[in-house]
Amino acid sequence: MSILYVNRTVRIKTTQNIISEKSPVEGLPLRQWQVNVLILGPNGDESPAYIFEKCIYRLHPTFRNPIRTKIEAPFALEEKGWGEFTFSISCFFLRGAGEVEFLHELTFQDEVYYLDFNIKVPCHVPELRRVLELTGPVPEAVAPADLTYKTDMEKWIQKLLASDEELATNVVNKIMHHPAVAREVERKPLDECFVVDLRQLPESLLWDIGDYILNEPPVK
């Protein structure tokens, strides 16, 4: 039940220029800037990063509404300002297949510049495989996903129920340290109890948990 991954390069591209509006800070002109999330093809050609279903920008807290969610590739963010700063962009793969986070530095030295990031993209999800094929080769799927996934899930749940405390603790840690889960937990008050349904977890995380449990030695 191992997850297949394929390598891709994501490009965070920025364009910026000085505008005529008066800057609130003397000596620092006001600039219009835009950031796009792109993916590179085998020949280095750029295209919108359709592997993601949404991207969340976390700007400097001095911005009005500093957390911005974009749901349409290339997830363009347009803003204006006078200062340089570094911010994070969380990008979520299609069909809940996981997420990646990029740190992007906004600078004003060049009118157009970019940062490239090499990432591993899970390709066991049919919809994600289809868009990955637009930007390069994708490994063959090992097995029909639905039937194998459901059958194996029943197997590892039964093994987990019969497991010792160490295996259960390791599974809980895998869940709690997943970026998407950790972010949701951070939003909860410290004194609030909550229950997580397995069906709420990202599919890539479920595959990872199942692969880990089924490859653990049986409980003696």
Max distance between CA atoms of the chain, in angstroms, equals 74
Any idea which of 14-23, 156-165, 209-218 has the lowest mean pLDDT? Answer: 209-218
Average pLDDT over residues 15-27: 91
Q: How many CA atoms lie within 13 A of 181 on its CB side?
A: 21
In this structure, the strands spanning 52-58 and 77-81 are: unpaired
pLDDT tens digits, one per residue of 104-157? 999 999 999 999 999 989 887 888 989 999 999 998 765 444 445 555 677 777
Higher-confidence residue of 29 and 170: namely 29
Instruction: Of 46-50, 150-154, 158-162, give the lowest mean pLDDT range.
Output: 150-154
Per mean pLDDT, which range of 57-71, 92-106, 173-187 is the poorest?
Answer: 173-187
| Residue matched to tokens 């479920």 | 206
Query: Tens of pLDDT along 163-213?
Result: 878 888 888 887 877 776 776 667 666 666 656 666 567 766 777 787 777
Q: Give the residue-averaged pLDDT of 13-26.
A: 92
Architecture of domain 5-135: Sandwich (2.60)
Is residue 36 helix, strand or coil? strand
Closest alpha carbon to 15 in 30, 29, 39, 34: 34
Delimit the domains of the chain by residue range: 5-135, 145-214
d(CA 115, CA 12): 5
The more confident residue out of 61 and 155 is: 61
Give the pLDDT score at 143.
47
Stated as kind and residue range, the H or E segment containing 8 is: strand 5-18
The single-letter DSSP state of residue 146 is: H
**More confident of the two residues 20 and 124:** 20
Inter-residue contact 31 to 18 (CB < 8 Å): yes
- Whole-prediction pTM: 0.66
**Host H or E run for residue 87:** strand 85-93
Report the pLDDT value the prediction gives residue 76, as an integer from 0 to 100.
Answer: 97
Identify the pLDDT of residue 145. 45
- Mean pLDDT for the chain? 84
Which one, of 80, 65, 76, 75, lies nearest residue 30 by Cα?
80
